Structure 1
Amino acid sequence: MSLKHWALVGGAVACLGAQSALSAPWVNPGDAKARHELQKRVDRGDASLTTSTWPIMWPAINASSKVANADSSGSGAPLGVRLSRLKANDFANGSRGVVRVSGASAPRLVQGFEPAVQNDGELTLGYELQQGHWAFGVNVTGVADPEDDESFRLDGSYLAGTLGNLVIGVGAIDRWWGPGWQSSLILSNNARPVPSVWVNRKTDAEPETSWLKWIGPWNFTAFVGQLEKERAVSEPALIGMRFTMRPVEGLDIGLSRTIMFAGEGRPNNGSALWDALTGRDNSQDGGDNDPGNQLGSIDLRYGFAFGDQTVGLYAQMMGEDEAGSFPGKKSWLFGLDWTTSLFGSDQQWFAEYVNTLADDFLGDSLPNISYEHFNYRTGYRYYGRNMAASVDGDAIATTLGVYHFLPQGMTFSASLTYAELNRDGVSRAVRPNPEVNYVIPALGQELLLADFGVKTPLPAGELSLNVQVADDRIELVGGKLDRVAASATWQYQF
């Protein structure tokens, strides 16, 4: 879309302010402590809402009747109140400012729900305002020696308003679709956020119609965005849709779909869009009439109380282009997460397996399919990074991770990952911009990575430190990554 398009959309969103109230914005993906707190209470039955689609709206958290009327944790405060206390960025006066300085010794390939710093140096100045019926945020970032050749960014900026139980917005915000802690097979915050127009439900209220009440709490989100210019097909649109429901207490079900559509030299009329939405003529065999590059996924998570703690079992299946109603050429993710309270503190644990080599888990493997496409030859990537699993396609990875939350506000994290990258040793992606570091494994490689992090409040702001150590340098299509990557972030909010 042109800048004129974005301006018109932004004006339309601002006009929604007169319709209803937006009491607060959302909990962004990447906040492991907030996710632990929310997911644990939901698994214990203190709240009833879906927790596998991020960002999660504050009104959805606060509107849960179980949260408002009962809190078995004994804290004496509703969940929404306690969650807001987890972060120094609670909007006590309706607005806030932020200064963030970060840097990394080297970029990294593998990352999870909490993304890592990827550039030599970044300086961000931000301001957010919530005024009853609308929310606005602008984040201006300058980057030294950027990995993607973009030294000026507006990532994290947005304008949003409400219309009944809908939130309509425009901007570039991070998303995470699925129950995984280390990976999402369809959409994650591994890449930079795609500028888009979006709509989602403000709360997860159950259907009022009696014959639909079996769905339970549910949510829906959809967006239309635009990818970058320097691609094999320049400036294609990215369409995303996700529906989640909770038909049984403890069970979250998610259905997701993304479509890469149009772009320079590709069909962009209504007929082509209809073909893309209905899955007509999809294949991986080539052909100019294929309407787009499409992914579909199904995910499940069942969480339950285990004494004073909680346990969750989850899975996600992603399929590439396939004619018909069900995705084919499948990738898989399986995981187990659980909580403990040891040494006077809380812990969040997870063990996760992901396989992005198409059909490898239950059949004959099909390399160079997952996250690739014969027309959109830069693949399912944005500014050099996969928009879903950080290990990219044709990979297997197993991760064991833990977060340790101290009462004083400090967080320690650690994870160990064994990965088999690019198992057939071939890279199919077209890389048109030589200034972008395409984080795509070049060779078949086995790898062991250890990741350690600490986040601590300071008298002025918050400091985050992280280091990742690999047993070998990772071979990317543009060169080798260092075995050790260290990063630091200082953030001050006012």
Structure 2
Amino acid sequence: MNFRFFAILFFSFVFSCATQASPWVGTVDKQLHYDLQTLQEWGYLDATVLTYPVPWKGVADQILALDISEMASMPKQAAQRLSHYLNLQKRAQRRTFVEIQGASDEPRLTSFDGISDIKASLKITNEFYWKRFSGQLSINYQAGGEKNLDNSFLAYQFGDWNIRAGSIDQWWGPAQSSSLILSNNTRPIPTVALSRSVATASDSPWLSWMGPWYFTTQLGQLESERAVPNTKLFLSRFTISPFERFEFGASWAAMWGGDGQPRSLGTFIDVITFRGVCINELDECEDSQITKQGNHLAGFDMKYSFHFLDRPISVYAQRIGEDAVSGVNITDQATLFGVSTYIANTKVYLESSDTNIACAGDGSTITNCYYENGVYSSGYRYRGRAIGSTFDSDAKQITLGANIRFDGGAIAELVLRKAELNPDGTRPSPVLTDDVTEDLIQLSGFYQRPFGNWLLKAGGSIESRQFVTEDDDVEALLYLNATYVFD
């Protein structure tokens, strides 16, 4: 279905509906997700928030019931921002957003709520709700004349579950700077998803022991311009919070099918049941020639928050592996660690991740395998960018960040990164643009402030780049993002 026909069809549905807002928190303003994290870490919200986006259902009642009079500054501001958005929903007003972004250069490294990877863009977004249907239509015009419907979706809710078709930004894991398995580093992938529409505890006596929990399973398709065109992608995630302010998440992604590859229903069942198949599609083979159908990545993450000197401290980790020997012995495992706390009106965090890992176990020192696959040689990527880590494969990085909140709704963010990109100099990852190896120090940030119906964000970055075969360089980037809300 081409862009124009789909847009007309979607618009005809949208404007025939009574309009309210998205069923998920922060699909337009991602800072609302930070607000949810703030309330959860301070102990004011009993929900699991490790999977973005979090559904409003369940958490909305808790937010509206909060007494903010005795809160510290940071959770108080978070509660006020979330309550303001909920009150806008109650008015049942039509909400349309027009967003314009321009940058001085092509962005390279992204973050959860920083600049996107597009130099210039215009986006028109409409949120809507009609009976059990809800959705969001975003029409995007990008530099070079490209048009797409990224971050558009249509969802149908039944009980505590919903079915969603479309593409939305997602982020799986506790980190602020990156995720090893699913982030918004690349454009959102079109999927059909079955998800729980609540991230709080279940009323069922059979499930209440889990505390707050969330589950989603999705089936998507990658682009046609890749080594195996139209590769299918299966995604699944389960998070649980069995006791206060502790969260555990399990994630699984599997690439399968695509042009020239087995893609029947039977093949999909082989993928999700981990059935062994012979290399090169032989009918019979030795044990050493057996592999799993598809390309799998899976792992877990966890986060625990506790109070020290009257402020929360959160410690968290993520471990995602791919490839295995002897069935379940995962060999290629990347790790991420982080810690965060609050100082006055600022949340500060320190994180480190490493995807420069050895392949195949057994003492091997060979790298260049993470996010890579022999059959799916475009790797675990979508449109040339990693579906997981911002820094792609063969990268070590450490990030120090600060998210600062001011009275009146203004927000500032500062991030300092140090990264080693592809230190062995072979099979360079797509994140490299000028050499096969790079040592990078980057300082980036933005200032965001509402002005009436406008939300203005100005930001930029400066990078010190050290190369092996090229001259070292210092580069700077500036960008401006302006969003206008039609009530």
TM-score category by the smaller chain?
A: 0.7 to 0.9
Call closer, same or farther: CA 1:214–1:481 in 2, change over 3 Å: farther
1:374 matched to 2:374: yes
Contact 1:102-1:490 within 8 A present in 2 as well: yes
Moved more, 171-180 or 318-327: 318-327
1:490 matched to 2:485: no
1:56 matched to 2:54: yes
> How far 1:231 moved relative to its partner?
0.3
Q: Equivalences for 1:177-216 in 2 at 5 Å?
A: 177-208=172-203, 210=205, 212-216=207-211
Which residue is equivalent to 1:142? 141
Identify which of 251, 255, 274 aligns with 1:279. 274
Gaps of 5+ in 1: 15-21, 430-437
Which residue is equivalent to 2:426? 426
Which residue is equivalent to 1:469? 462
Identify which of 320, 323, 332 aligns with 1:321. 323
> How far 1:443 moved relative to its partner?
1.3
CA distance in 2, matches of 1:485, 1:282: 48
Contact 2:464-2:474 within 8 A present in 1 as well: no
Q: Which AA in structure 1 matches 2:458?
A: L
- TM-score under structure 1 normalisation? 0.84
Call closer, same or farther: CA 1:73–1:282 in 2, change over 3 Å: farther
**Residue identity (%):** 29
Which residue is equivalent to 1:340? 343
Call closer, same or farther: CA 1:268–1:475 in 2, change over 3 Å: farther
Moved more, 410-419 or 456-465: 456-465
Q: Equivalences for 1:450-461 in 2 at 5 Å?
A: 450-461=443-454
Q: Which AA in structure 1 matches 2:70?
A: G
Q: Which AA in structure 1 matches 2:192?
A: V
Call closer, same or farther: CA 1:25–1:210 in 2, change over 3 Å: closer
Moved more, 460-469 or 83-92: 83-92
> How far 1:55 moved relative to its partner?
0.5
CA distance in 1, matches of 2:473, 2:245: 41
> How far 1:85 moved relative to its partner?
2.2
Deviations 1:225-284 (A, max 9, x none): 11110000001111100000001111100000011110000111233212211223389x
> How far 1:78 moved relative to its partner?
12
Q: Secondary structure at the match of 2:417?
A: strand
Q: Which AA in structure 1 matches 2:371?
A: Y
Contact 1:239-1:260 within 8 A present in 2 as well: yes
Q: Secondary structure at the match of 2:276?
A: coil
Contact 1:295-1:327 within 8 A present in 2 as well: no
Q: Secondary structure at the match of 1:351?
A: strand
Identify which of 250, 253, 257 aligns with 1:255. 250
Contact 2:59-2:200 within 8 A present in 1 as well: no
Which residue is equivalent to 1:445? 438
Contact 2:68-2:79 within 8 A present in 1 as well: no
Which residue is equivalent to 1:40? 38
Q: Secondary structure at the match of 1:26?
A: coil
Q: Which AA in structure 1 matches 2:425?
A: G
1:414 matched to 2:410: no
Call closer, same or farther: CA 1:29–1:481 in 2, change over 3 Å: farther
Contact 2:110-2:116 within 8 A present in 1 as well: no
CA distance in 2, matches of 1:50, 1:244: 7
> How far 1:164 moved relative to its partner?
0.8
Contact 2:52-2:170 within 8 A present in 1 as well: yes
Contact 2:335-2:355 within 8 A present in 1 as well: yes
Contact 1:23-1:132 within 8 A present in 2 as well: no
Contact 1:30-1:115 within 8 A present in 2 as well: no
Q: Secondary structure at the match of 1:322?
A: strand
CA distance in 2, matches of 1:71, 1:412: 26
Which residue is equivalent to 2:286? none
Q: Which AA in structure 2 matches 1:321?
A: D
Deviations 1:101-152 (A, max 9, x none): 111122233222214133332111221212342212211111123xxxx700
> How far 1:60 moved relative to its partner?
3.2
Which residue is equivalent to 1:397? 397
Q: Which AA in structure 1 matches 2:221?
A: Q
CA distance in 1, matches of 2:371, 2:252: 13
Which residue is equivalent to 1:83? 82
Q: Equivalences for 1:221-300 in 2 at 5 Å?
A: 221-281=216-276, 287-288=280-281, 290-300=292-302
Call closer, same or farther: CA 1:115–1:386 in 2, change over 3 Å: farther
CA distance in 2, matches of 1:404, 1:189: 22
Which residue is equivalent to 1:435? none
Which residue is equivalent to 1:160? 155
Contact 1:312-1:337 within 8 A present in 2 as well: yes
Moved more, 30-39 or 289-298: 30-39
Contact 1:40-1:310 within 8 A present in 2 as well: no
Which residue is equivalent to 1:383? 383
CA distance in 2, matches of 1:338, 1:32: 20
Q: Secondary structure at the match of 1:204?
A: coil
Q: Secondary structure at the match of 2:199?
A: coil
- TM-score under structure 2 normalisation? 0.85
Q: Which AA in structure 2 matches 1:487?
A: Y
Segments of 4+ moved more than 6 angstroms: 75-81, 86-89, 473-476
Which residue is equivalent to 1:101? 100
RMSD: 3.3
Deviations 1:432-484 (A, max 9, x none): xxxxxx545651221111112111222451211111111127899xxx99821
Deviations 1:327-369 (A, max 9, x none): 431000000011122xxxx211110000012259x97544111
Q: Which AA in structure 2 matches 1:224?
A: L
Q: Secondary structure at the match of 2:399?
A: strand
Deviations 1:5-36 (A, max 9, x none): x99xx99xx9xxxxxxx985112368563233
Contact 1:170-1:198 within 8 A present in 2 as well: yes
CA distance in 2, matches of 1:86, 1:365: 51
Contact 1:126-1:139 within 8 A present in 2 as well: yes
